[in-house]
Amino acid sequence: MKKTLIIGATPNPSRYAYLAANMLKSKGHEIVNIGIKKGSVAGVEIEEPGDIHTDIHTITLYIGPHLQDRYYDYILQTQPKRVVFNPGTENEELDGLLRANAIEPVQACTLVLLSTGQY
């Protein structure tokens, strides 16, 4: 199983980040929810970015490129194996930073990856 950190987690059930958190949990993946909204998703509290989680395999992004720069250091310090850029989160600058730090950038949809067994 791949421990996954969700950036942009939200308790709003109409959002893709919410659906991804629940699908990740249902498929047996441990999750960490990071976001600005208060509450919990899939039984896991939403944290503000602060504590660095060093056992993360995948970070999946659910925030637009215009908000991502404030997370660059946090992402790099977390040292995941890969970062999934969900549709609408693509960012050439962050992609380059990831590659320079030996982190695999993946342009994909977490929900599709999970649904097709490619996660």
Domain 4-115 coded CATH 3.40.50.720: yes
Task: DSSP for 22-89, please give it.
Answer: HHHHHTT--EEEE-SS-SEETTEEEEPS-SPPSS-SEEEE-S-HHHHGGGHHHHHHH--SEEEE-TT-
Contact 88, 64 (CB under 8 A): yes
Per-residue pLDDT, averaged over 54-58, amounts to 96
In this predicted model, what pLDDT tens digit does every residue of 28-41 receive, in sequence order? 999 999 999 999 99
Confidence of residue 111 (pLDDT cuts 50, 70, 90): very high
Domain ranges of the chain: 4-115
Q: What is the mean pLDDT of the chain?
A: 97
pLDDT in tens, 59-97: 999 999 999 999 999 999 999 999 999 999 999 999 999
Compute the average pLDDT of residues 49-61.
Answer: 95
Whether this prediction's pTM lies above 0.75 is answered by: yes
